[in-house]
Amino acid sequence: MIFPDAPVTLTPEQIVQHNQRLSQMRHDINNSLTVLTGFGELIRLRPEAAGKYAEQMVSHPQRIAEKIRQFSAEWEALAGIKRE
């Protein structure tokens, strides 16, 4: 990564926007984790239903990773960080 060699100035509006994005990301990730926990509990109670929930369970970690990737890309652009 290449970091800025000078201070980076953010406007109050940029800080508010980025904080809102961070808040939304936390909310989305918590939702996915709650769903995964729920599926885990259902499978524990009814192991025969594992196949029914497997596809949905597999998609949630991918969603979490994508949310983090999007947030990171936005932060890096805002902060002037470049990937090599």
Give the bridge partners for 82, in sequence order. Answer: 2
Question: How far is residue 34's CA from residue 61's CA, in Å, rounded to a whole number?
Answer: 12
pTM above 0.85, yes or no: no
Which stretches within the chain are classed as H helix?
A: 12-45, 50-79
Check residues 50 and 27 and name the one with the higher pLDDT.
27
pLDDT tens, 11-40? 999 999 999 999 999 999 999 999 999 999
pLDDT of amino acid 52: 84
Average pLDDT over residues 62-76: 94
pLDDT of amino acid 53: 85
For 21, 53, 77, the CA distances from 4, given in Å and listed in that order, are: 22, 45, 11
Phi/psi at 22 (5° precision): -60, -45
